[in-house]
Structure 1
Amino acid sequence: MIWDWSLVREALPPMLRGFGMTILATILATVVALILGLLIAIVRRSAPKVISVPIGAVVEFIRSTPLLVQLFAVFVIFNQLTAFQVGITVLGIHYATYMSEVYRAGIDGVPKGQWEAATALSMSPSRTWTAVVMPQAVRAILPAMTNYAISMFKETPFLAVIGVAEMVFEAGEVGSFHFRFLEVYTIAGLLFLLASYPTSLLARRLEKRLAN
C-alpha cells in the first residue's frame, strides 16, 4: 500500500497538538519581533553612534548567520532555558532584525513636514511618535510585517532540532516509530499550506487596499 490511512488516523491527534504549538510559537515570536524590531529601529535612527553602531553590527551578524546555527548555539549556552523558550527567543530576535529595517523604511517614509508640524505644535517626542509618526509608518509597513510573520510560521520546523514538540517534530516521532514518513510529512505540508496560503491572500488584499 502506497498510502496508509490507518497511519494518518494515528498521526493526526499528536500532529494537531503540535500544530497548536506551532501557532503559539509563531504568535509569541511575532510579538517579540514586532516590539524588539521597533526598539532597534528607533535606537539605530535616534541614538548616538556609540550606541547605534554596535547595535547595527549585532543586527548584521544575526542577519548573516543561519537561524539553525543560532538555535543550537543559544540552546547550548543558555541551557537553563527550556527548548520552547529558546525557540521563541531566537526566532523572535532573528526576525526582529529584519522587521527593524521595515520599521526604519516606514519611519523614514513619513514626510518631513509631519515632524515639523509636531514640533511647531510643541508635541513631546513620545506624543510625536505615538500620534503622528507610527500611525503613518504602520500603515505603510503592515503588508511587509504580515509577510515576515508568515515566513516565521513556515520556519518553526527548525525548532524541532532542539526538541520543541511542534508539528514537524510530532510528525517525525510518528514516522520514526512506524518507519514511514510519506503520510506524516504530507499532512504536515498540507497543514502549513492550509494555514499560510489564506494568510498570504489576506496580506495581498491588505497591501492593495492600503495602496489605494
Structure 2
Amino acid sequence: MMWSWSYVQEILPTLLRGLLVTVEATVLGYALALVLGLAIAVLRHSAGRVTGQVLRWAVEFVRSTPLLVQLFFLFYVLPGFGITLGALATGVIGLGVHYATYTSEVYRSGIESVPRGQWEAATALSLPSRRVWTGVVLPQAVPKVIPALGNYVIAMFKDTPLLLGITVLEMLGSAYKAGSESYRMLEPVTLVGLLFVAVSVLAGLLVRRLERRYGN
C-alpha cells in the first residue's frame, strides 16, 4: 500500500477534531483526578481509622483493575441500575476516578513530607483543622509533588484511546472510522501516532520545566 498525501489532506481535519476530543477528555479527567485525589489523601490522613481503611482498600481496588474494565462497567453496566451517562462524560469520570487513586498517593507522600514540628505547632496554636490544611500543610506539600503530578497527565493522554471501547470518537476512534470507510489504515493510524508523539513531547517539556522549578 502506497502512502497517499491526498488522502492525508482528506482525513486530517477529522483526526484533528478527534484530537480536540482527546485533549478535552484529558483536561477534564485530569482536573477531576487532581481534585478527587487530594480529597482522598486528606481524608485518609485526617479521618478515622475505619474511613481510612475503607479508602485504602477502595484505592487498591481501582488501581488493581484495568481502566478499560472500569469504563465498560460505567458505560454498559450502570444503565441497568438506572444510571445513564453520555459516552464522553463516562470517559471523563472513568479517567478521573482511575487516576485519582494515583494522584492521591502522590499527594499523600507530599503530606507526609511536611515536618512533624509544623503539625505540632498548629496543634499548639489550636488552629482549626481547615486552617491547618489550607494554611500550613497543603502550601508546603503540594509544590513538592507538582512534577510527579505532571507525569500523570501524559499517562492519561496516552490512555484516552481506551475510550473507543465506549464509543467516544477521540483521535484513534476517528482514525479507525476513517480507515474502515476507505479501507486504508496506513495513513490514519500513522498520523494518530505522530499526533500522540507531538502532544506528548510538548507535555513532557512542560513537565520538565515544572521539575526544574519545583524539584529542588
In the superposition, the TM-score normalised over structure 2's length comes to 0.94
Deviation digits for residues 173-197 of structure 1 (CA, Å, limit 9, x no counterpart): 0011111111111111111111111
For 1:210 and 1:89, locate their aligned partners in 2 and report how far apart those are by CA, in whole Å: 29
**Which of 99, 102, 117 in structure 1 is aligned with 2:103?**
99
For 1:81 and 1:37, locate their aligned partners in 2 and report how far apart those are by CA, in whole Å: 22
Paired AA for residue 32 in structure 2: V
Would you say 1:14 and 2:14 are equivalent positions? yes
1:1-212 alignment runs, 5 A limit: 2-79=2-79, 80-212=84-216
Kindly indicate whether the alpha-carbon contact (under 8 Å) linking 2:176 and 2:188 is maintained by their aligned counterparts in 1: yes
Paired AA for residue 45 in structure 2: R
For 2:12 and 2:153, locate their aligned partners in 1 and report how far apart those are by CA, in whole Å: 25
SS of alignment partner, residue 185 of structure 1: helix
Paired AA for residue 21 in structure 1: V
Paired AA for residue 33 in structure 1: A
SS of alignment partner, residue 20 of structure 2: helix
Tell me which stretches of 4 or more aligned residues in structure 1 moved more than 3 Å. Answer: none
**C-alpha deviation, 1:10, in angstroms:** 1.2
Identical pairs, percent: 53
> Is the alpha carbon distance of 1:54 and 1:122 closer, same or farther for their aligned partners in structure 2, counting shifts above 3 Å?
closer
Deviation digits for residues 127-184 of structure 1 (CA, Å, limit 9, x no counterpart): 1111211111111100011100111011111001111111111010001111111111
Paired AA for residue 72 in structure 1: F
For 2:68 and 2:191, locate their aligned partners in 1 and report how far apart those are by CA, in whole Å: 23
Unaligned runs of 5+ in 1: none
**C-alpha deviation, 1:200, in angstroms:** 0.8
Deviation digits for residues 93-128 of structure 1 (CA, Å, limit 9, x no counterpart): 000000100010000001111222223333221111
For 1:122 and 1:51, locate their aligned partners in 2 and report how far apart those are by CA, in whole Å: 24
SS of alignment partner, residue 169 of structure 2: coil
Paired AA for residue 43 in structure 1: L
Unaligned runs of 5+ in 2: none
